[in-house]
Amino acid sequence: MQLHLSSWPEIDKYLETSKAIVIPIGSTEQHGPNGLLGTDALCPEIIARKAGDDSGILIAPTFNVGQAQHHMAFSGTITLRPSTMIAAMLDWAQSLARHGFERLYWFNGHGGNISTINAAFSEIYHGITFSGDGDRAGSNHPPLRCTLRNWWELPGVGDLCRQLFPVGEGSHATPSEVSVTYYGYPDAQKRVEMTPKIAPNGPIYDAEDYRRRFPDGRIGSDPSQASVEAGEKIVNAAAKALIAEFKQFAAS
Ligand code: NI
């Protein structure tokens, strides 16, 4: 079930059975020569959509622009400032809380978002504690709970990715994430020969330094191995793990 394809009476009905929602969250940033700019938003979106279709859990629209300052030397990348992202996440959370949602499962596709998402959780808890939302003035235990899960860290998913791509998985523009997007959007596949075959590794600083160290955008990976078939396996495993974990969180 997807929020943006539902009507308000359908959301009213859902809220009678559950106060929990999955919010895919990612980034719009370069993903190497054959990866889609939307990769980090599309991966959690594609996995969450399958989980929603298979189980009836509610999926929010994707929060699809995040922390991508270090990718800004590559065309097409869009970034938020951390303060903007925290403010926007607070607005999303307060909107959902207003309707009665109490469990927000933020399903992330971008490592660079993690620290800002956690800072946003502090802002959300602060806002809800001090606004008296839910008529709990005086309580430091607000009814709203947020949790963060990176899709590649769902139980069993990391092992599956390493098994599918024992060499050249790397850490940015990985064959696993590119495979997930190719499964979701097979017409958007790009065949590009990688030079060098496996990209260099190294630290991340600012955008200009990033482009000097990683000229085509990849870090440690060979995403030319990406395939629709591998993507299907990853999406199926991740959707199953997401449903199980989300149901536990919803009942917490
Ligand atoms: Ni990525």
The answer to whether residue 112 scores a pLDDT higher than 90 is yes
Tell me the two tokens of residue 111. 């490592």
Average pLDDT over residues 210-219: 98
Q: What is the mean pLDDT of the chain?
A: 95
Distance in Å, CA 91 to ligand 1 centroid: 25
User: Which region holds residue 114: left if phi is over 0, alpha if psi is between -120 and 50, else beta?
Assistant: alpha
pLDDT per residue as tens digits for the range 33-48: 999 999 999 999 999 9
Distance in Å, CA 193 to ligand 1 centroid: 19
Distance in Å, CA 152 to ligand 1 centroid: 10
Distance in Å, CA 161 to ligand 1 centroid: 14
pLDDT of residue 141: 53
- Asked if residue 27 belongs to a domain, the reply is yes
- Asked if residue 118 belongs to a domain, the reply is yes
Average pLDDT over residues 179-205: 97
Distance in Å, CA 50 to ligand 1 centroid: 19
pTM of the shown model: 0.95
One-letter-per-residue 3-state SS of 79-141: CCCHHHHHHHHHHHHHHHHHCCCCEEEEEECCHHHHHHHHHHHHHHHHHHHHHCCCCCCCCCC
Distance in Å, CA 246 to ligand 1 centroid: 22
Distance in Å, CA 238 to ligand 1 centroid: 16
- Asked if residue 217 belongs to a domain, the reply is no
Tell me the two tokens of residue 148. 């963060």
Distance in Å, CA 46 to ligand 1 centroid: 14
Distance in Å, CA 173 to ligand 1 centroid: 5
Distance in Å, CA 32 to ligand 1 centroid: 10
Distance in Å, CA 31 to ligand 1 centroid: 6
23: domain CATH number? 3.40.50.10310
**57 CB contacts (<8 Å, ≥6 apart)?**
1, 18, 20, 21, 22, 51, 243, 246, 247, 250
Closest CA to 191 of 28, 33, 31: 33
pLDDT of residue 140: 53
Average pLDDT over residues 148-158: 98
pLDDT of residue 128: 74
Average pLDDT over residues 136-143: 57
- Asked if residue 115 belongs to a domain, the reply is yes
Q: Which amino acid is at 197?
A: K
User: Containing domain of residue 135, as a range?
Assistant: 3-164+235-250
DSSP secondary-structure letter at 164?
A: H
pLDDT of residue 57: 97
How many structural domains does the chain have?
1
pLDDT of residue 146: 97
Better pLDDT: 162 or 138: 162
- Asked if residue 176 belongs to a domain, the reply is no
Q: How confident is the model at residue 127 (pLDDT cuts 50, 70, 90)?
A: confident
Distance in Å, CA 137 to ligand 1 centroid: 41
Distance in Å, CA 24 to ligand 1 centroid: 14
- Asked if residue 183 belongs to a domain, the reply is no
Average pLDDT over residues 143-154: 96
- Asked if residue 68 belongs to a domain, the reply is yes
Distance in Å, CA 104 to ligand 1 centroid: 22
Distance in Å, CA 135 to ligand 1 centroid: 40
- Asked if residue 209 belongs to a domain, the reply is no
Average pLDDT over residues 54-61: 98
Distance in Å, CA 244 to ligand 1 centroid: 24
Distance in Å, CA 67 to ligand 1 centroid: 12
